[in-house]
Amino acid sequence: MPELPEVEVTRQGVTPHLIDQQVTALTVRNASLRWPVPDIAQQIVGQTIRNIRRRAKYLLIDTDAGTTIVHLGMSGSLRVVCGSTPVEKHDHIDLALANGKVLRFNDPRRFGAWLWCELPEEAHPLLSKLGPEPLKDEFNPAYLEQALKNKKKAIKLCLMDNHIVVGVGNIYANEALFAAGVHPEMEAGKVDNERLTVLVTEVKQILANAIRQGGTTLKDFTNAEGKPGYFAQKLHVYGRGGETCTQCGNLLSEIKLGQRATVFCGLCQTK
């Protein structure tokens, strides 16, 4: 599943092609995504795209009439193509623009979503209870300490809880906890402020680095390869269970937490 950095780079990639463009047509070839795609052609055709934002892993395409909420799901991707570009398998949705380009949504597994929301979109059930963005000032040590107060759940599970902070998926939670020296199974409420300060800093830095790398790795969203995937970056723990720790040489341990693979160093990361 694309993580926050991949979704953010997708936003950055498609924005120059969409901003201030009038929507001329909406074609839905398969409405059976995670939720049925609503019939919104009447609302969106003729509207001008004012902004493309990201909230957690959702992309928000703003018009004066309302907002289209897009989620890439597990296998979805967006690319900008010429209107004459042949349709490929799993190209489920086209948003045609006055400049002759098309925002095309491809999703083989159909766990993605295209939904419509009248303003203000913050009231939408998918968005209303989300925690702060990890790269914004609202996500800080004081906030996190209060959010984790008395919580007995493992710190890694809390870090991946979108009600506490959005967009810190499995890959980046593993990496941030390693960088901060915090054991993933540690009770969240017992992580002191000093370690929370380091953890917040590492979350921000790791996500920001991934976004920067993605911005240089995948610049062109106007071809058939407009799929962000996971950026090729050095991962210290994720996917390396049983290998040696990059810091101390100890063998990395791998367990399941919340049904997700969790890799850590028993020496560098303490409870």
Q: Which residues are catalytic?
A: 2-3, 57, 260
Give 68's strand partners. 61, 116
- One DSSP character per residue, 89-134 reads TTEEEEEEETTSEEEEEE-SS---EEEEEPSPGGGSTTTTT----T
